[in-house]
Amino acid sequence: MDIKSKHKADASFSMSSMTDIVFLLLIFFMLTASFITPSGLPVNLPTAASSTIVMQKNTLSITADLRYSLNDRLIDPEDLERELARLVDDQEGTLSLNIDEAVPTGHLARVGGIAAKLKQKTVLVVRPE
């Protein structure tokens, strides 16, 4: 006796709707990814698990009459590189520049070149408006 059911379950599965969804998601992510712009500046964050951090901060002041003062001690402008090299001791640090607004920019450029040569970051100190 052969018993056959009138309602047979179809074992095949149509993948066309699944591929439509995948392609729609792909198009969505491709479009939105092109509109995303990174915010801020790219920086390399330091790690400090086993290293020592040495931060030196020196201050150079130049008055309107072109008198140079390194860490509140008057120096000759020609001795600036030697005196600053003695203070920084081949380590990276920060040099704060307190320069009068009447000082010609040539002096600022010279000091910036010396600081860059000695691997010092420079910060120009200004007063707020």
Identify residue 22 by its one-letter amino acid code: V
CB atoms within 10 A of CB 96: 15
Do 84 and 95 contact (CB within 8 A), yes or no?
A: yes
pTM: 0.54
User: What CATH number does residue 116 fall under?
Assistant: 3.30.420.270
Give the range of the structural domain holding residue 86, as residue numbers without chain letter: 57-124
Residue 76 inside a domain? The answer is: yes
What is the percentage of the chain residues whose pLDDT exceeds 70?
Answer: 76
Residue 50 inside a domain? The answer is: no
Residue 111 inside a domain? The answer is: yes
What is the per-residue pLDDT across 54-112, written as a single tens digit (0 to 9) for each?
455 788 888 888 888 888 788 888 888 888 888 887 677 788 888 888 888 888 889 88
User: pLDDT class for 26, splitting at 50, 70, 90?
Assistant: very high
Mean pLDDT of the chain: 76
Classify residue 74 by its DSSP letter.
E
Strand ranges (E), 25-118: 57-62, 68-70, 73-75, 93-99
